Amino acid sequence: NAGVMQNPRHLVRRRGQEARLRCSPMKGHSHVYWYRQLPEEGLKFMVYLQKENIIDESGMPKERFSAEFPKEGPSILRIQQVVRGDSAAYFCASSRMNTEAFFGQGTRLTVV
Amino acid sequence: LAKTTQPISMDSYEGQEVNITCSHNNIATNDYITWYQQFPSQGPRFIIQGYKTKVTNEVASLFIPADRKSSTLSLPRVSLSDTAVYYCLVGGLDRGSTLGRLYFGRGTQLTVWP
């Protein structure tokens, strides 16, 4: 049973471009969470999704950021018009209902 | 949202037992306590979870006093590979979410020396 798969592992974007980060949850997991981690800091919750539904997006910036978890395919975190401050590691986690969550290896976004 | 307080860093030597204590004074009745481990450039890894008293698995033990306002993660006989950041999280099973409203904080950087 493969773990949570995130791709790409590293992503470089120029300011103003779009970044799309993908997360394939573990098999049988219908809950997906996205976290952001800045250097030397803890993980900050961004959004919690179930299939086709956003359950909690209280940690998402109001502009430029969006997330989806379609019925088929991976969850996508999309950042439009990236700025240098978006440079961070973005982690995805997945879980079943009421169980512990498993994290992916993360996507390291660098905005140049 | 219950926040936690942990030491920023701890040092130990190989073979010693390490105890990391976490304070969570505002823990709610339905909150669980969960510990994660994170190595550099990797995602956090679940270690252990508990509600009260003591929980033990093949990796660690978790001690929770009766008032549940703190918890202690115990790592027996640490090795160099246990050098990592350890996060204590407190949260409930709200609408099925185990992570959605959990606060990670900065964790405790454990360094194990030879």
What is the chain A residue with the closest CA to B93? Answer: A98
Phi-psi group of B56: left, alpha or beta (phi > 0 → left; psi -120 to 50 → alpha; rest → beta): beta
Chain A residue with Cα closest to B92: A98
pLDDT in tens, A57-88: 989 999 999 999 999 999 999 999 999 999 99
The Cα-based distances of B6 to A32, A101, B113 in angstroms read: 27, 21, 21
pLDDT of residue B101: 60
Name the token pair of A102: 């498993």
**pLDDT for residue B94:** 47
**Does pLDDT of B100 surpass 80?**
no
Predicted confidence at residue B97, as pLDDT, reads 47
Residues of B in contact with A49 (CB under 8 A): none
Nearest chain B Cα to A106, which residue? B43
* pLDDT tens by residue, B2-50: 688 999 999 999 999 999 999 999 888 888 898 999 998 899 998 998 9
User: A91–B43: do the CB atoms touch at under 8 Å?
Assistant: yes
Looking up tokens 């160099």 gives B80
Best residue of B3, B45, B98, B103 to probe chain A, by most A CBs closer than 10 Å: B98
B interface with A, Cβ–Cβ < 8 A, is 34, 41-46, 49, 87, 93, 95-107
Give the model's pLDDT for residue A95. 87
Contacts of A62 by beta carbon, 8 Å cutoff, 6+ apart: none
| Cα B114 from Cα B112, distance rounded (Å) | 7
- Dist. CA B3–CA A111, nearest whole Å: 31
Is the confidence at residue B74, as pLDDT, over 50? yes
